[in-house]
Amino acid sequence: MAFDVVVTRVLPEAGLELLRRSGVKLWINPVDAPLAHAELLARLATAEGVVATLADTLDADAIAAAPRLRAVSNYAVGYNNIDIAACTQRGIGVSNTPGVLTQATAETAWALLMMAARRCGEAERHVRTGTWAGWGPMQFLGVDIIGRTLGIIGPGRIAKQVARLARGFDMKVLYYGRSRHADWDQELNATFTDLPTLLRESDFVSIHCPLTPQTRHLLGPAQLALMKPTAVLVNTARGPVVDEAALARALATGQIFAAGLDVYEFEPTIHPDLLNLPNVVLLPHIGSGTQSTRSRMSVMVAEDILAMLSGRAPAHGVNPEVWATR
């Protein structure tokens, strides 16, 4: 199999070994950093397959610069970094990595929720800087979690696992999405509602929707103003779903209690006001970051790119219409 395959970032060895054994002509970015856009375009000029990450923008111009491209395997669940319409028009298959990172990302959402609620980041910095003088009854008072209401925006796989974990905290679960889900109602005893109601009634709001033109800045000044002053916002989905400047203002003025973020509107740049706020926990997009999860993701992208280059539909295809006519 002599296909030219570009891997834009060093990935866990399990998937790379699959590609090496397949006999493809493989180029792997040797630097642990995203390719500059000009270099990405240069690599795409001869590539037949590309294993991409969220940091790689495969827009219409990039697709046009890749005349031999037949397959794109995205090392992520989301694929807003890829122009799917342009790929489909060219007959280029696209795949992603759903399911495998559900548990790890749900755990990250809960870590952020608990850290923000109990002011763990702020308190930990207090200890590390040597300013802690001992226990005090008024130090770093947080908000309770058990028995409170969790609002979930975007009832997908990860969100469902977050809701399952909420049962251990005896929480009421509200959810908002494009439609009602019977399995959420029955299995989780969750309540489908509109977004304003969810924001007004929830003590914790966790975002899990994909980034689309409709969800960009889904939470802006008007929506944040609906939240309780004791509420905590968690985002492990996509940064631009939240208006970052509006969130910084809401946190600074006490409009909401705290936030926990793993994704950012202009990633990797973070709004400077957020960096200076004590009541926000900031993680470097590590939602799926466990050894086993990332390793399984690397195998998935390798298997799917090889399937597509061999003319077969991938197991995790995003645009199945490409294969329907073959």
Residues with catalytic function: 238, 267, 285
Cis status, amide bond into 268, omega within 30 of 0: yes
Angle between helix 102-117 and helix 120-128 axes, rounded to 10 deg: 70
Provide the token pair at 207: 């975002």
* CB neighbours of residue 127 within 10 Å: 9
Characterise 130 by phi-psi region: left (phi > 0), alpha (psi -120 to 50), beta (else): left
| Amino acid letter, residue 274 | L
189: left (phi over 0), alpha (psi -120 to 50) or beta: left
Q: Which runs of consecutive H residues, i.e. helices, occur in 83-190?
A: 84-90, 102-117, 120-128, 157-166, 182-187
Note whether 301 and 11 are within 8 A (CB): yes
The residues that bridge with 6 in the sheet, in sequence order, are 27, 50
User: Residue 297's closest CA among 113, 125, 103?
Assistant: 103
Distances (CA, A) of 188 to 152, 174, 232, 255: 12, 10, 21, 30
End-to-end CA distance of the chain: 20
Provide the 8-state DSSP code for 240. Answer: G
Asked whether 54 and 34 are in contact (CB, 8 A), the reply is no
